[in-house]
Structure 1
Amino acid sequence: MATQPDPAGKKRRAFEAELSQRLRDRARLLLSSETEVLRTLVDARTQILATLTGQPSDWKLWQLSRLLGQIDDVLTGAAGQAGTVFGLRLQDAWNLGEDFVDKPLAILGHRVELQLSQLDATVLKQMRAFGTLRLRDVGTEALRKIGTELGLVTIGGKSPFDAIKTVQKILGNDAPLRAAAIVRTEVSRAFAVASNDRLAQAQDLVPGLGKQWRRSGKLHSRWNHDLIDGQVVGAKEPFKVPNPGGGVDLMQCPHDPRAPIEQVIHCGCISLPWMKDWDVATPGAKPFTKLELQQDGKKATLDQAAKRAGQRQE
């Protein structure tokens, strides 16, 4: 018996392939954004350590105010460069989030990008200002900690060698970790908000258009985000996300600006465009991998409870 053509299935597979490609673009953008911002901090660290190692070995000869002024100049310059890079990558994420809806829908014959107006970028401007301020705070906090260390040197409370080791840690671990978290969170937020706003715009043009929450797949992810993996709502409706402290938060998307901080920082979840009349490969929660179940007891417990409740496949 001859195989019957399946044009709907072919379109669905092309749609999902396009989504996958856009998610790979998102992953590359997140990585490059962090790398570029961290590079400015590495350069600053190199300059500051060179300045400190060039100081007299006799701590009594150190001039604290002049030294802190030099370090402040370096950190301020680095923060400015990081802010510029951050702003550009935020715009890239916003554009990519809009395309995350437009391009896959075009494969289905819904040319929404030709019918819809551009997204209101007001929230993008606010996110850029907020993120830039937070990056500047990283430099301010680093200067405060460094000032404390160098102040101890100038009063004989700490050796120059020990102080420089602490400064290396501040600039090599503390500041970069904070900066990376800020960049990852805010760039992810720009992508999520843009794609969610575009979905809301497109709903009236695409019957049955909705969105589906997908967990990050991180080994040690939020249990409450794993719990709602696969949840489907209308394009303009909020997801119902359990809060670790009790109750439920209504979130339009992962990284929703209105959500509590505990729901968004370090979150890697995404919201996918979803079509009501399709039979997708994984309609509900994605099965946990063997490694996830072995390495995270919370996932194993959640998996068993969900299976007993009929919410996950055996």
Structure 2
Amino acid sequence: MSKTKKILMLTNIVILTILVTNLATSQAAVPSWGPGDIFIWGILDRTTTETYDFEEDVGQVVDILTNAEVEYNITAIDTVQEEYDAYSTSTGGTTFLNDRDYDVDEYIDDYLDNLFNFISVDYVWDYANNVSVCTSFSTSLGYFYLLEPDWALINEAYIDMLNGSVVIDTLADPYDPIIYNYTLADVLGDIKVNIMGKGTLARGLNQFTSAKTKWTFEFDLSNYIMDSYWNGSMTLYRPYTTYIETWTIEYENGGILKDFRYTFDMELTDEDTTTNVFVDSRRALGGMKAATADFGTFAAVGGLVFISTLAIIIKRKKK
């Protein structure tokens, strides 16, 4: 066989391999949506703040609600570049989304490739009690409305990200030459967690199976995380009696966002005041009725609307 024929044969084999690989990849993660499909998601963002002054016997509730709908009318999809075009209609009008990514790799790069994008924690030294205390804790996740349905890859990314041995904070002992390293496993082992329905990180990780399309997290730091205050001579710390973050992310099997929800519940009491803050942020397939399903007062609100409500209720001292 001549050298030219060998080169041509090798080239054909390489091209065939690439084509087969691309075909296999496409078949493994084909979206169920495409041109002509229309989807509507309801959007709800609610913050309720309650305060009560013991000395004045006065309470106040401030409830801020923002809700809306967003509609996607898909006009084109490129399954090679994993992009789509769509008209997006909301209260701000209609905009054209050109070459919008739905690639699962983009989603992972944005939200799941780095533990520090997901969790932030801070420990400081409590000099009054000579112990370390947690003063800050937050988590963050995100969503694509439309996503390549490669669930095996996403679940694998969750497992890789939630590596319990990763150090997420360090603290130097002020008296001894000791550095305290706080790993993800250390932190989650000190608080109450519910990861994918399980009470430990290790057991939760076992739930990220290849076909899973719903992910849930709950972090309860009640009476663990501390608030700092100055007493006139030094910084002291008092616990948040309630401090809970939750996440729910769920997709339909074909890659359509079904539900995205974040809640935060916090209560703190100081010398004369109790403050409670509750945050609820949701994106739900099906419009406002789906997004407000847990809020009966607003369940009837629909259409492409935007509502901002500020309600203040003051309970005065009884005479």
Bucket of the pairwise TM-score, normalised by the shorter protein = under 0.3
TM-score, reference length from structure 2: 0.24
Larger strand share, 1 or 2: 2
Higher RCO by CA contacts (8 Å cutoff, separation 6 or greater): 2
